[in-house]
A and B are shown apart, each in its own frame.
Chain A
Amino acid sequence: MTCGPHGPGSGSGSDAGTTATLDHTHLALVGSPNSGKTTLFNALTGLRAKTGNYPGVTVSRYEGRVEVDGQQVLLEDLPGTYSLDAISPDEQIVSDVLDPGDPTTVTPEGLLVTLDATTLRRSLRMLAQVLHTSVPTCVVLTFTDELYRRQGALDVEALRRALGVPVVAVVGGRRQQLGGLRALMVRPDEWSTPVVLPPTDPTGVTGWIDSVLTSSGYRLPVTDARTQRIDAVLLHPVWGSIVFALTMFAFFQVIFAVAAPLQGYIETFFAFLGDQVDAHVSIDWLASFLSDGILGGVGGVLVFLPQIALLFVLISLMEGVGYMARAAFLMDRVMAGAGLEGRAFVALLSSLACAIPGIMATRTLPSPRDRIATMMGAPLMTCSARLPVYVLLIGLLVDRDARFGPVGAQGVVMFALYLVGALSAMASAWLFSRIGRGTGPLLPFYMEMPPYRVPSLRSVGLAVYDACRGFLRKVAKIILGTTIVLWLLLNLPHPSDAQLRADGVEPSDRAAVSTYVIDHSAGAAVGRFVEPVFEPLGFDWRINVSVLASLSAREVFVATLGQVAAAENPDQPADALEQMTVADGPRAGEPLFTAPVLAALLVFFLYALQCMSTVGVLRRESGSWKWPAIAFGYLFVVAWSMAALTRLVVGAFV
């Protein structure tokens, strides 16, 4: 029964395809969220886990190898679920994998079902469903230590007799205690099976659960006093909201401010390497390719790692402690306005630092529909890469001394851009969750509030490692590839010294040469070619080239514009830009950066998905090219329309 084909393939980036061969046993972990399932998986497999996607769906697939006495066990960590009656794609995976009749998935030879001993009355309900799949089953009881601490009682041996399947108690995924479980994992065909299957109707199941719990001497644990005391503060309408605001402020500070110097070190290091290349490679174009193309691309990938690592430290701590559910509880009403649930708040907040960690944070959302809707909104939050662009353009648009009452006008415009970005993100998420809802019934909202627990540092570490590794493996080549392609576009063909002199450019004048190169590059041809498209926004081909270059990272817009304008210092091009005039056409000779054009550019950058790193991470997190393509397309259309509208409106007032 383990030789079925693994899905229709579909090229959805599944790099963890099951290879069910005869030389190892294939087991799967089944359990509800918060039942210690992933902690157990990490303890059993450690760093030998692989991440992939189930074919055709936005569901991550985790599997790892466990070696027991020289025998290999392949362990698959199925998505957490409260029931086998699936209501979401994640849960459908569990139902499909457990159904031997389903041809698209490989049914494992045995199931390890994690049951939280403190919530046995609920979790036995799913076990009753699992037993009906007739796949050999072994129960792994978790949190028995917590059960006893909270004055509950349970006779594990009696529970085993009542259920008729093997029952093993483990505590907190401590590796040394897993010996008994590991020994069992090798021979699922020898596990005992229940003599009589539990009933299937709800009332019958309730009776079955009552009799199982009675015969195994189960006493429901008292409510966790510690959790109640903490909740009384953290969920208090006033104190809870204050703590929440402070927590989120600290959270944002860490990924925004603490990550910044680390990113600075990475950038400095790669700039240093680039200088070394420039100093030692005498062929100009090769030095530029190595330092700007290759090193720039690698640096452009690594610069995201501090934010990703810090984000996942914070998220897995919040999840592990149990605060994530509380934060989501407090924010749920607000986020429901955007058709989302409370947990999406953390993802959108992270996107204020950068959309990359923001989109990766959508992993905390249980519903794939919410995940997609949040991913579609996240790129609209004003990320830190937009800041240099906004600062430059606002500096040109609004006079430094202009004031709206007591506040500077420049600050007001900046604030308006942040506000419009956030509102647009919410509107977009609302729209996409509406569209998603059209294809299925409204998912009921429920969220377990787990007791506060001390998080396992091992799980935190693994979550960080997994996130960084996944980013490097799946997104690095997209970022690196974009950087190299853009370098080629903006630097080829490379003129000879004779050509330069013939056109009156002194080859030793670096600024003039770099302007000449970009003016005659393939990218300039592209910029001229798309000029009619951007004409209604007032962009000429030079702005188009800079917009094109900013696809590698938005802040590149500033330096490229500087290069085009032959600014003495391309990173501070404001003065040179003010002098720029329209080169040809009916407006020839007039200033290029007029107020309507500047406003249109600002709005364009507010909406457009000018960031191939975001496209790459969307590809990774959604499992296919479909969603990044949709995101890029709809954001371009919105950006173009809003920018054209802005130019008209501002033009009417100036």
Chain B
Amino acid sequence: MSVMSFTLGQRRPTPRAVQVTTGSAAPAIPATATGTLAELDCGARARVTGVSGGADPATARRLVDLGFAPGAEVEMVRRAPMADPVVFRVAGYDIALRRMQARCIQVSTTS
């Protein structure tokens, strides 16, 4: 998979994770890259590991309620002409988030 273009180096330090952060399903052997949803390329898939709302816990809660719950699989569908917002496919539907929100969602991709 071409998912590895999404690198560890770009990861921003995430403020406190409000909800549950990581599931217990951290795979031991396959190469796992972690980062935020904002770093996914078009067509890339990832699994949500945690959600932090930056300064606002309500944002984190809302993102979980929208389907970005830990364990959910997300696909990056397309970017708007000016790179923001971005459409993601999660829980069987398409939703557009601005990058500011996408950065609140931590994901991991396994290759």
Contact = CB atoms under 8 A, between A and B. Distances in A.
Interface string B73-102: 000001011111101011111111110110
Contacts of B101: 444-446
B65 A120 contact: no
Nearest to A238: B81
A99 interface: no
Interface in A120-136: 120-122, 125-126
Nearest to B98: A445
A563 to B, nearest CB: 51
Nearest to B79: A237
Contacts of A336: 84, 98
Interface in A414-453: 441-442, 444-450
A334 B82 contact: yes
B92 A330 contact: no
A82 interface: yes
Contact of A203 (B70, B82, B87, B97): B70
Contacts, number: 121
B20 interface: yes
Contact of B20 (A83, A85, A201, A325): A201
Contact of A125 (B65, B97, B100, B104): B65
B68 to A, nearest CB: 10
Given A202-B20, A447-B96, A85 B65 contact: yes
A103 interface: no
Contacts of A237: 81
B41 to A, nearest CB: 16
Nearest to B92: A220
Interface residues of B, number: 40
A474 B102 CA distance: 42
Contacts of A126: 65
A332 interface: yes
B61 A85 contact: yes
Contact of B93 (A83, A119, A206): A119
Contacts of B14: none
B32 to A, nearest CB: 20
A221 interface: yes
A444 B63 contact: yes
B85 to A, nearest CB: 5
A441 B58 contact: yes
B65 A449 contact: no
B92 A202 contact: no
A442 B70 contact: no
B89 A223 contact: yes
B70 A202 contact: yes
A446 B60 CA distance: 12
A111 to B, nearest CB: 17
A216 B56 CA distance: 36
A85 B81 contact: no
State the majority secondary structure of interface residues on B: loop
A118 interface: yes
Nearest to A81: B65
B84 A203 contact: no
Contacts of A122: 65-67, 90-93
Contacts of B92: 118-122, 220-221
Contact of B67 (A125, A449, A450): A125
B110 interface: no
B70 A449 contact: no
B84 A333 contact: yes
Given A85-B58, A445-B101, A449-B96, A330 B80 contact: yes
A231 B82 CA distance: 16
A327 B82 CA distance: 13
B71 A206 contact: yes
A329 interface: yes
A449 B95 contact: yes
Contacts of A203: 20, 23, 69-71
Contacts of A444: 53, 56, 59, 62-63, 97, 100-101, 104
B33 interface: no
Contacts of B83: 333
Contacts of B65: 82-83, 85, 122, 125-126
A87 interface: yes
B69 A449 contact: no
Nearest to A34: B93
* Minimum-distance CB pairs A-B, first 6: A83-B65, A333-B82, A121-B91, A449-B94, A122-B67, A237-B81
Interface of A: 82-83, 85, 87, 118-122, 125-126, 201-203, 205-206, 220-221, 223, 231, 235, 237, 240-241, 325, 329-330, 332-334, 336, 441-442, 444-450
Given A333-B82, A445-B98, A447-B85, 17 more contacts: A119-B93, A121-B91, A205-B69, A206-B71, A221-B92, A235-B80, A329-B85, A332-B84, A332-B96, A332-B98, A333-B81, A334-B82, A441-B58, A444-B56, A444-B63, A446-B63, A447-B95
6 contacts: A83-B62, A83-B66, A85-B58, A333-B84, A449-B96, A450-B93
